[in-house]
Chain A
Amino acid sequence: MNDIVINARDIVKKFYIGEPNELEILHGMTFEVPKGQFVSIVGQSGSGKSTLMNIIGALDRPTSGTYFLDGQDISRANDKELSRIRNLEIGFVFQTFNLIARTSALKNIELPMMYAGVPAKERRKRAFDLLDIVEMTDRSEHMPNELSGGQKQRIAIARAMANDPSIILADEPTGALDSKTGRLVMDLFHKLHREQGKTIVLITHNPELAAETDRIITIADGNIISDSAEVSPLEGIRRAPVIAVKPSGIQETGEKNDEAPAAPDTVPGVNETNGTSEDVQQQEQVQDHVPEPAAAEVSESEGKA
C-alpha cells in the first residue's frame, strides 16, 4: 500500500489555441496528498482550479510533469486506461449532481460498478449498503427528478463511493444547495473521512468550507500560492479567506429559495459581503428531507470556473 495517494510533480498544462499561441494554465504544480487526508483546493475563477481538478480526476493529462494516483502514472495513460482509473480510483461528486436522468437512485449508484463489470447481485447489495451509509435506503427506486437537491447529492456521493475509489473528488459539492443542505452534505463528507478513512479532495471557492478540512491548497494564476501543510495550520486558515473570498451569486440565489426564514434576509446586504459563515452556523441543526424545489435551478455558471 502506498501512503501517498496523489503525487503531482511539476504539473504543467498548456492549451494550444492555434499556433503559435499557447496558453499555459498551470505553471508547474507540485504537491502530495497522503492517504486519508481531507484536502481542499481553493481558488478563484480562472485560477486554474478546474484544470487542476480535471487532471487530478484523470479526465485530462498534464502537458508535462508527472502525476501518480495511488502509484499509477496518469500522465502516461491512454484513454482506455484513464477511463478505467476514473472508474476504479476516483469518485466524482459534482456541483450539479449529474445523476443520470430516468434512472433510479439505485441504478445510478450501480452505474460505476456496471462499467467495472461487477456482477448484478453483488453490485445491488453494495448499492444498498451505500444507500444505507448516505441514509437514503427509502429512496432507492426514486428517479432523480423525484429527489431534492440534498438527496440527489447524497445519491451522487454514494455513487462516487461505489467502486471504493482511492480518492473522492468533490467539485463545489454544496454550490447548488442552500446552506442547510450544504451543511448536511459537508457533514456526510466528514463522516466518510472520519469513519471510512476516505481521501477526499474538495474543490471550492468557499473559504468557510475549506476551513473545515485538514489542509488547504490555495491556487491563483496557475500556481500554488499557499499550502497549509507547509505552514502552520492556523496561518493557513487565516490566510486562505483573504485570498479566496469573493462572494458569489450562488449563495444569494440559494438564500432566496430557502424555505426557512433565515436571518440574512432580514438584514439586507449581509450575505453579499461576509454572511456565508453565519448562514451555515445558523442552519446547522436544521433537518434535511425538506425538498428544495429551486436548488437545482441555481445558476450553474459557477461550475465552469
Chain B
Amino acid sequence: MGIWENVVLAFAGIRSNKMRAILTMLGIIIGISSVIAISTLGDIMQANVMDIFNSQGGSNLTVFQVSRKDKPARDYSSDEDLITMDMIADVKKKYSKYLEAVSFMSGNYEASTRHHRKDYDLVVYGVNPGYIKQSMTKMMMGRYISESDCENIKNVCVISDRQAEKLFGSQRAAIGKVLPVTYNFQVTRTEKMAVYADYTIVGVYKYQLSSLMSSMMNAVGEDAESWNNEVYIPYSTLNRLVGDDKDTQYYFYGNMMNGIDIDKACEEIQDYMNQSYYRDNDSYEIHYQTMESQMEMIGQILGIVQLVISIIAAISLLVGGIGVMNIMLVSVTERTREIGVRKALGAPNSAIRIQFIVESIIICLVGGVIGIILGLLMGVAAGSIVGTAVPPSIRSIVIAVGFSMAIGIFFGYYPANKAAKLDPIEALRYE
C-alpha cells in the first residue's frame, strides 16, 4: 500500500465529511494563520525600524553622552560635567579620520510665525551644520546651516518645503525671504514672555518620514504635515536668544566614516575624551552607544513581542492538534469494521498505522495551507494599513508546513496506533 493511495484515501475521507474536517482544521487554521500573520507583521516592523535607522544615518551613527560612573560621588550633574563646544571641536579635529560629521542640537522651542494675519505653529531647533546628517531631512533648495552661520551667530534659518509653499507660494520664492518668529517662553508657571526674532531663509528641506511613522500618525489622527513645522537655526543664535552662553551639551552624535571598525573607533574617541576631559571628574564620564546596539535593543523588544504572540499561536496549535487527535479517535472507532476487513485482507499493522497517520497529516496539512493563505492575506492587509509591503516569508511558510505535518504525525500517532493494534476478530464483529 503506497503513500499515494493513502493520500487519495485520506482526501476521499475528508470530502465525505467536509463539515467535520473543517471544524477539526479550525484550530490548525487559526494557529498557522496567526503564526504567518505575526511573522509577516514582524518583518514589516523590522523593515520600518530599518527604514528609520537608515534615514538617521544608519549604522554609522553613534551617540557620545555624559553618563554617571559606576560609583558616582554626586547624583546631580553641573555645567562642569557637560560636553563643551571646544571638546566637540577637538574630537572632530583629532578624529577626522573616523568622524564624517558631528552633530548636536542646543535646544528646541515652540514658536509661531504670522503670515497674512494667520498664525502658524513652529518648532525652532538650534543645530550645528552636521545635524542634517542624522536628521530625517533632505535639502530641496538653498543650503543648510553652515559653520560660519554658527561662528558668526547669524540670524538665518532653514524651513520645510510645506512651510515654504504655504507661506511664500513656492520653495524658490522662500529663499532670501525673512521669517518673523515669535517665541513664547514660559517664564513662570503662569507667565509667558514673547520674544521676537527675524530669520533670513537660506534653505528649504524636505522631511523624510518613514512610511511606518507617517501611517502611525495617520492612524492616531495626527496630521503628518504637522511634523513639517520644524525650523532650523544655528545653535549659537538660539543660545544667545535664550541667554545661554555656555554652549554645553549632554550628548552629541558622531557620523562615523564608512568602512571602519565603528566600535573600535568609538572606543578610541570615548577613551580619549575620558582621558583628556573627565579624568578628574569623580562622577561622570563619556559613554558611547552605537545606533546598531540601539537597534539590537529594539530588535530584542520586537523579538519578545513576537515570542509572546508565537506562544499564544503555539497554544492554539496545541488545541488544534488535540482536536485532530480527538477526531482521529472518532474516525478509528467509526471505521473499526473497515480496519477489521483490511486486516482480514492481509493489511499488516504498519499499513493500518500509516493509513491513519497519513489521514491525520492530510487534515493538518490542508488546515495548514488554508492557514498560510489566510495568514498571508492578513499580513498583506496589515502591510497595506501601515504602508509597507514585505514579501511573504518563505522561511515561515516552510516552517508552518513542517509544523502542521509534525502536528499531524504527533497527534495522529496515538489514534493510528490504536487502530493498528485492534484485534481483527473484534474489529470484524464491531457494529
Contacts and interface: CB of A to CB of B under 8 A. Distances in A.
B13 A86 contact: no
A102 B11 CA distance: 11
Contacts, number: 66
Interface in B327-346: 337-338, 340-346
Interface stretch (A112-120, A124-132, A206-214): A112-120
B21 to A, nearest CB: 14
A83 B349 contact: yes
B176 interface: no
A115 B13 contact: no
B347 interface: yes
Given A59-B425, A83-B346, A115 B341 contact: no
Interface in A24-55: 54
Nearest to A98: B341
B231 to A, nearest CB: 77
A111 interface: yes
Interface residues of A, number: 29
Contacts of A303: 429
A103 B5 CA distance: 11
Contact of B429 (A60, A100, A112, A304): A304
Nearest to A116: B346
A120 B335 CA distance: 25
A300 interface: yes
A112 B346 contact: yes
B16 interface: yes
B362 to A, nearest CB: 15
Given A54-B425, A102-B16, A86 B338 contact: no
A83 B337 contact: no
A134 interface: no
Contact of A84 (B2, B16, B348): B348
B424 interface: yes
Contacts of A300: 431
A54 B111 CA distance: 99
Contact of B345 (A60, A102, A159, A304): A159
A159 to B, nearest CB: 7
A92 B345 contact: yes
The listed residue with most B CB atoms (<10 A of its CB), out of A60, A84, A98, is A98
B424 A114 contact: no
A101 interface: yes
B351 interface: yes
Interface string B339-382: 01111111111010000000000000000000000000000000
Give the interface size bracket for B toward A. 20 to 34
Interface in A53-75: 54, 57, 59-60
Contacts of B1: 114-115
Given A100-B338, A114-B5, A115-B1, A57 B344 contact: yes
A47 to B, nearest CB: 17
A83 B348 contact: yes
B341 A59 contact: no
A121 B431 CA distance: 35
Contacts of B340: 98
A278 B2 CA distance: 49
Nearest to A107: B5
A98 B347 contact: no
A98 B340 CA distance: 9
A59 to B, nearest CB: 5
A88 to B, nearest CB: 7
B197 interface: no
A86 B346 contact: yes
Interface in B1-59: 1-2, 5, 9, 12-13, 16
Contact of B13 (A60, A85, A88, A102): A102
A181 interface: no
A166 to B, nearest CB: 13
Given A100-B341, A300-B431, A304-B429, A115 B16 contact: no
A86 B344 contact: yes
Contacts of B346: 83-88, 112, 115-116, 163
Contacts of A116: 346
A284 to B, nearest CB: 31
Contact of A83 (B16, B347, B429, B431): B347
* Closest 10 A/B residue pairs (Cβ): A87-B346, A98-B341, A83-B348, A86-B346, A114-B1, A115-B346, A112-B345, A92-B344, A59-B424, A115-B347
Given A103-B9, A115-B345, A304-B429, 15 more contacts: A59-B344, A59-B424, A79-B349, A83-B346, A84-B346, A87-B345, A94-B341, A98-B344, A100-B341, A111-B345, A112-B345, A114-B1, A114-B5, A159-B345, A300-B431
Interface of B: 1-2, 5, 9, 12-13, 16, 337-338, 340-349, 351, 424-425, 428-429, 431
11 contacts: A80-B348, A85-B346, A86-B343, A86-B346, A87-B345, A100-B338, A102-B12, A111-B342, A114-B1, A115-B345, A159-B345
